[in-house]
């Protein structure tokens, strides 16, 4: 499924994780769509101030719905439920745990 955010398009992969790739940033968002919006915003604005590099370009996200509630996130000391990451490819993903599913979004045109 593709999500279009203006000129940006994300492919969405349900129940997929990429924990082996370190995040650029973690934050709390209200939904998977808002998490992808944060990635798009980060990539649109941060390079303007700091130049384009691996740390200033978000190419994908991992969203953990269970941690949207503050109590659930606090139980595991989660620093967020939305993890902005560099560009992933599908070979970097794995099935998420059934007890704590997460979803991955990959920006189709990430640099």
CB 8 within 8 A of CB 87: no
Sign of CA dihedral 72, 92, 58, 16: negative
Calculate the alpha carbon distances from 30 to 11, 21, 63, 89, 91 in Å.
19, 23, 10, 25, 28
Calculate the alpha carbon distances from 32 to 11, 35, 48, 64, 103 in Å.
12, 5, 25, 8, 8
> Among residues 56, 64, 1, which one has the least CA distance to residue 27?
64
**How many of the other CB atoms lie within 10 Å of CB of 82?**
26
- Find where tokens 């700091």 sit: 50
What pTM does this model have? 0.86
Structure confidence at residue 77 as a pLDDT band (50, 70, 90) = very high
The 10s digit of each residue's pLDDT in 14-62 is: 999 987 788 999 999 999 999 999 998 888 888 888 887 767 789 999 9
């Amino acid at each position: 499924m593709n999500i279009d955010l203006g000129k940006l398009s994300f492919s969405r992969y349900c129940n997929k994780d990429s924990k082996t790739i370190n995040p650029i940033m973690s934050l709390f968002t209200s939904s998977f769509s808002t998490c992808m919006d944060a990635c798009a915003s980060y990539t649109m604005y941060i390079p303007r101030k700091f130049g384009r590099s691996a740390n200033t370009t978000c190419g994908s996200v991992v969203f953990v719905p269970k941690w949207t509630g503050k109590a659930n996130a606090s139980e595991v000391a989660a620093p967020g439920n939305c993890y902005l990451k560099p560009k992933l490819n599908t070979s970097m993903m794995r099935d998420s745990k059934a007890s704590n599913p997460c979803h991955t979004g990959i920006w189709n045109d990430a640099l």
